[in-house]
A and B are shown apart, each in its own frame.
Chain A
Amino acid sequence: MNAHEIWQAIANGLSLGCLIGLLAVGYSLVYGVAKLINFAHGDLFALAGYYLLFFLAASPTGQLRNTVFLFTGATAVVAFAWSSHFMKGRRRLVVGCGGGVLGGLFGYLLIGTSIPLLFAVLAATVFTALTGIALEYLVYRPLEGSPRLSYLVAAIGLSLSLQGLMQILFGTDHRAFPSSVNAQISALPVPPILVGYFSGLDLLIIGFTVAITTVAAWFAKKSIFGICIRATADDPVLAERLGLNVRSAKVQVFAIGSALAAICAFFFVARERTLEPTLGYSQGILAFAAAVIGGIGSFEGSLIGGLFIGMILSLLPLVDTEPLVRFLPPSWVQFLPSLNLSDWGLGVVYMLMALVLIIRPRGLLTERSWRDV
């Protein structure tokens, strides 16, 4: 192990951490306002990957057609929900159906036509945001006012349903972007001093994540929009009494969170070159742990938590346990669990998460305010 390897691992951890942090920001955003651990966030992330594949794929397949189902469903629900602003009764169904048809048509026309990368990312972001809104409307909104645990159960159910749905629609194979797109991504420029440590994509990930987190934190603190959202988070009842539109604040937050998940999905699939339905589960857990470690509800905290986890995951395999094994009596070694630390990365993350929850219960345990007394 030399210094070069360590630097490389740190660079790798940095970009991986930003990726996890970006997903964690989405968790924090939704948690901050809806006070709900949106387990389905990770699955939206995986779904966004499939949306991207749809927009980038060159030849039509059955799986691409299945994406059109999702487009249709999501746009139908969102159109139905949105129409409540200006009409009532059965006519809303017409709007919903119309929206679904338009979304489906849009998807159908696009089957097999590869569109430029930037537009593909944009379109996938829009559709993921629409899906997020649809889920909020279908599942979380009817639960308003019920105990927290009902939300949690529904969120878990939603996550499993999405995961199962993706497995049925897209199969369990590992997928990746077409090679032309990959070539386009690897052609991103890198400053000469960083060559060997970062790829152009890594720099893009780091830059985007840091920028979006800073902007989001600034927006939450200073802008009227952010203040409204924070007021909603603090006390939805009071916020509603004061004339803020709590519902639309929630919808906006879900849309933004899902859009971030979509961008994160693009980065992830471009970097790791793999996509499968259970990705939402494995990555979602990491991101969630990051959000908890950094303090769920805070953007900078989530990013820092993500960086922390990224560093652990990439630095842990470098630790050499050989001396320890030599130190132990040989009769023990045959009963020991694996001492290869790269096997234990996830375990360390879970332990850290539990530790943070246990040791720093302030803010986690006692959100009791003077009103409850």
Chain B
Amino acid sequence: MPTDNVLSLRRKEDRRRAVAFSAFGFTALLALAFVGTPRLFDLLIVSLLFICMAFGLQLVVGYCQLFDLGYAGFVCLGAYSTGVLLTRFHWSYFAAAALSTLLALVAGIILGVPTLRLRGDYFAIVTFGFAELVVLLMRNWTTLTGGPFGLGGIPDPVLFGARLVRYPPFGYYLLMLSMFLGLLASIWYLRQTMLGAQMLAVGDDEKLCAINGIDIVAVKVSAFALSAGIGGLIGSFWAVYFKFLSYTDFTFTLSVQVIAIVILAGNQRLRYIILAGTIIAPASEALRTWLRASGLPEASRVIFFGVILIVLTLWRLHDFSSAIRRSLARPVPWSRKMRCSDVGAAQVVEMNGIASTEAISQRLSFNPVSRININSEVLLEIRGLNVSFGGTKAIKDLDLRVRAGEIIAVIGPNGCGKTSLLNAISGLVSSKGQMILKGRDITDEPAWLRARRGINRTLQTPRSFPGLDEMENMDLVSWSIAQAPTRSIIGRILSALRAMFVQLPLVGVGVPVLRDDQTQSLRIQMRRAFAKPRTLLLLDEPLAGLPEADQCEIIARIDHHRASGGAVVVVEHNLESILCVCDRVLQLDKGQIAFEGSKAEFSLL
């Protein structure tokens, strides 16, 4: 296929460019080292330090759209653990840095598991509390951290037999530079992996994630832990570079400083973060010097960050987060030329094949391929299902049995509980009653787990992840839904972290997803729905608003799905169309079954 060649070329091209770009950057920064004065070194180191912290925070704030107010806590943890290990226990720097990173990472997991279920602003509050708690711990643990007197006398690290000299800080500059480049490469790589895509997806649309088998909590915890680990690593550098640690360095102001960089960068491209960091960090240093010179309290520089935050929020107004999403769709913007012309167009043509003339002729004399076998296995059994919203009962005591190879049409007036039934089966709303899928009780299982077990749901209004392009959407969803269902939290986090080593097959080559393009989302949704055989497919008004040819195609696919051994529950208003394929009809009225029977019985009514 010509597409493959184009794609592999594309990827090679990208890699080559990325390598060339970083090599150029590295050489430039290295060259600076030979002409720079110690003062310049210090400024560069501090800027890079803040940029690296912003990289870490961006994983949480930019990708997952979670507001983390406690980043300074992890940096503090890393800095103090390195400081203590170097001064009290005389460890080598590498070992201390590794342990600090690990410590921060574990702290991130421990903090993340219970708190990442919380809604955005409560999560922000808890992380804020965590950072204050860490600072309090460092203040009160006088025996180890020096408490209010600070921790001083941190020795120069010895790297590969060479002791770094504090002044001029050339060695420190090299160390910081390599950390920076390592982080840059890792985050650039992360965006190309399943974990990166999942993180973006979680930030985009949690409901869509849930029905596609993406484990939201585990993905968030992984992102949070990675970001915490980066914080710990930066903290370890902080300790050896500044030589003296005081708990007052790690207060809320530090978190806000990093947040200001991330928000100033706004749309989260790595180079914008670098740019924002090189603006804010030196500006903050200059402000500090100026305040000191003019006799004003140094602490009042918080006004600078405060004003930045206000102005940026007001300026960006509503597209504060959508700007992030739009730009994240292009991690490799320099090869834009090739995208639409070659690869994208080929894909689009293939996907639009739905509307073929063949399908139209099928519609005229539709003849289902298979018939239901009454004795086939029961896929799903529901007993005494109840769904209520506040005082309103959407579904009352509903029993339903779905056999493999069966197509059930759910019909009824608006508000009779059709969508609620699908939501309850797929786990999007909480319900009472028992639910058994292929002999396994799934009553208490969350939506993502049910999706992985084979309950495949489409939404009435099709949606897709706008942070990812069309191909990425497809790849991500089909990969996620095929993952093994794991229940233990450790297994979930490990499997989410494993996704870090799975590359997306195609990155940045598809057509970008447009928020308003319903046909595109519909296409993605339908391809996903019929991708996996032998599942219980829940379709929510799949035919609504479609031209006749497409309706035929979907009906034919529903029929194929049944033939593959799956079952379909389809909510539909278009009776004429759906009756030509379904086996049973379930009519709901006010949340109860008004009629249940075969198609033939229904036609007699």
Contact = CB atoms under 8 A, between A and B. Distances in A.
Interface stretch (B297-305, B373-381, B509-517): B297-305
Contact of B300 (A167, A338, A358, A365): A167
B189 interface: no
Contacts of B130: 350, 354
Contact of A350 (B121, B129, B306): B129
Contacts of A167: 296-297, 299-300, 302-303
A307 interface: no
B129 A354 contact: yes
B357 interface: no
Given A163-B303, A335-B144, A158 B114 contact: no
Interface in A118-152: 139, 142-143, 145-150, 152
Given A167-B297, A358-B126, A364 B118 contact: yes
B246 to A, nearest CB: 17
Interface stretch (B9-17, B32-40, B307-315, B401-409): B307-315
B317 A337 contact: no
B105 to A, nearest CB: 20
B117 A361 contact: yes
Interface stretch (A18-26, A251-259, A317-325, A339-347): A339-347
B419 interface: yes
A325 to B, nearest CB: 12
A146 B394 CA distance: 31
B142 interface: yes
Nearest to B141: A337
Contacts of A364: 118-119, 122
Contact of A365 (B119, B132, B304, B314): B119
B395 to A, nearest CB: 12
B160 interface: no
A344 B143 CA distance: 16
B114 to A, nearest CB: 5
A101 B309 CA distance: 29
A328 interface: no
Interface size class of B (residues with CB under 8 A): 35 or more
A160 B117 contact: no
Contacts of A354: 115, 126, 129-130
Contact of B389 (A152, A153, A337, A370): A370
A159 B302 CA distance: 9
Interface in A321-337: 334-337
Nearest to B423: A373
B136 A164 contact: no
Given A157-B307, A172-B297, A364-B119, A143 B314 contact: yes
Contacts of A102: none
A157 B309 contact: yes
Interface in B472-524: none
A164 B291 CA distance: 12
Contact of A139 (B143, B304, B312, B314): B314
Contacts of A154: 309-310, 313-314
A142 B117 CA distance: 30
B420 A157 contact: no
Contacts of B318: 145-147
B143 A334 contact: yes
Interface in A350-373: 350-351, 353-354, 357-358, 361, 364-365, 367, 369-370, 373
Contact of B256 (A147, A156, A347, A365): A156
B132 to A, nearest CB: 6
Given A160-B256, A338-B147, A350-B132, A361 B309 contact: no
Nearest to B129: A350
A171 B297 contact: yes
Given A148-B121, A153-B263, A161 B147 contact: no
Contacts of B121: 37, 148-149, 152
A44 to B, nearest CB: 14
Interface in B173-195: none
B545 interface: no
A346 B132 contact: yes
Interface string B130-155: 10110011011111100100000000
A337 B259 CA distance: 31
Contacts of A161: 302-303, 306-307, 310
Contacts of A365: 117-119, 122
Nearest to A372: B207
A238 interface: no
A358 B122 CA distance: 9
Contacts of B43: none
Nearest to A145: B318
A139 B317 CA distance: 11
B263 to A, nearest CB: 7
A153 B301 CA distance: 17
A165 interface: yes
Given A153-B309, A154-B309, A353-B129, A164 B301 contact: yes
B297 A168 contact: yes
Contacts of B300: 163-165, 167-168
Interface string A278-289: 100100010011
Contact of B120 (A143, A149, A285): A149
A316 to B, nearest CB: 13
A313 to B, nearest CB: 14
Contacts of B119: 364-365, 367
Name the residue among B114, B263, B297 with the largest chain A CB count within 10 angstroms: B297
Contacts of A145: 318
A242 B302 CA distance: 43
Nearest to A334: B143
Given A278-B299, A354-B129, A367-B119, A338 B313 contact: no
Contacts of A159: 306
B317 A142 contact: yes
Contact of B429 (A142, A143, A373): A373
B313 A157 contact: yes
Contact of B136 (A278, A344, A370): A344
A160 B307 CA distance: 8
A158 to B, nearest CB: 6
B390 interface: yes
Contact of A358 (B114, B120, B305, B308): B114
Contact of B317 (A37, A146, A172, A353): A146
Nearest to A366: B119
Contact of B140 (A146, A165, A344, A353): A344
Nearest to B124: A152
Contacts of B256: 156, 160
Name the residue among B252, B308, B309 with the largest chain A CB count within 10 angstroms: B309
Contact of B303 (A165, A171, A335, A343): A165
Contacts of A231: none
Interface of A: 37, 139, 142-143, 145-150, 152-154, 156-165, 167-168, 171-172, 278, 281, 285, 288-289, 292, 334-338, 343-344, 346-347, 350-351, 353-354, 357-358, 361, 364-365, 367, 369-370, 373
12 contacts: A139-B310, A139-B314, A142-B314, A147-B320, A150-B313, A157-B307, A160-B302, A161-B302, A338-B142, A357-B115, A361-B118, A365-B117
Interface of B: 65, 67, 69, 114-115, 117-122, 124-126, 129-130, 132-133, 136-137, 139-144, 147, 252, 256, 259, 263, 296-297, 299-310, 312-314, 316-318, 320-321, 389-390, 392, 394, 419-420, 423, 428-429
Given A152-B124, A337-B141, 16 more contacts: A142-B314, A143-B317, A148-B120, A149-B121, A149-B321, A172-B299, A336-B141, A344-B140, A346-B132, A353-B129, A354-B115, A354-B126, A357-B125, A367-B119, A370-B390, A373-B429
The list of the 3 closest CB pairs from A to B, nearest first, reads A164-B303, A157-B309, A160-B306
